[in-house]
Structure 1
């Protein structure tokens, strides 16, 4: 199964060996790089950390704006990128959106980069 079909990344172990065990095909590398680019931003890394560490492992965009020091539209943009990449899930309650880490999403990336 091509990596492109796995994005957002949820269960890499079902089809793919770590990158250090076999050479990755060019199209797979491109797809994987798009997913990794979603993490390659300091604000997004902080958002993942803040959501996971928040009470109940879930946070409203209203809880994230001030601590991150960015405007609400900017925070919402970063959250959308993380949702689209499969790292966060989003549920809407009234006028607010709540985010939580997708179980195993970071483990899948870590497994791809493992050297054993």
Structure 2
């Protein structure tokens, strides 16, 4: 039986406050790095990055797998694998409706990842 990763869990995924200070301001603690790494790793694949973009920018906040699959020259099982990776990394939620699955981005997680990568202007640069 394959080992499944636990969904990304930070202090409060619904909060608008970032999980931690930006990389440029403070060292990322080991525990935080271990929690965030699966999400960054999931986004490190070009297909998953494109899927994440399509899901996050979908009109109405969600998109059917039936609309994602035709956008790629890949088999359905391969797309499903990539979507499962995004889901297991905590980046998206999925809901089955009949024979189709609909995906929604988890904006709070994306905000936390973005906050970590924020580069604030400094004097003299």
What is the CA distance between 1:77 and its match in structure 2? 1.1
Query: What's the offset of the Cα at 1:15?
Result: 4.4
Task: Report the counterpart of residue 51 of structure 1 in structure 2.
Answer: 55
Segment drifting more, 56-65 vs 7-16: 7-16
Distance 2:19 2:59 in 1: 34
Q: Distance in 2 between matches of 1:113 and 1:95?
A: 38
Q: Which runs of 5+ in 1 are unaligned?
A: none
- Report how far residue 56 of structure 1 moved: 2.2
Shift of 1:10: 5.6
Higher helix share: 1
Distance 2:48 2:11 in 1: 18
Tell me the TM-score normalised to structure 2 length.
Answer: 0.75
Matched, 1:110 2:114: yes
Match of 1:40 in 2: 44
The equivalent residue for 2:101 is: 97
Distance 1:26 1:12 in 2: 22
Q: 1:7 to 1:44 in 2, by over 3 A?
A: farther
Count of residue pairs the alignment pairs up: 113
Q: Which has the larger radius of gyration?
A: 2
1:79 is the counterpart of 2:87: no
SS in 2 for 1:104: helix
Structure 2: stretches of 5+ with no match in the other structure: 1-7, 121-125
C-alpha offsets along residues 63-85 of structure 1, whole Å, 9 cap, x if unaligned?
Answer: 11111221111111111111122
Given candidates 62, 66, 72, the residue that maps to 2:66 is 62
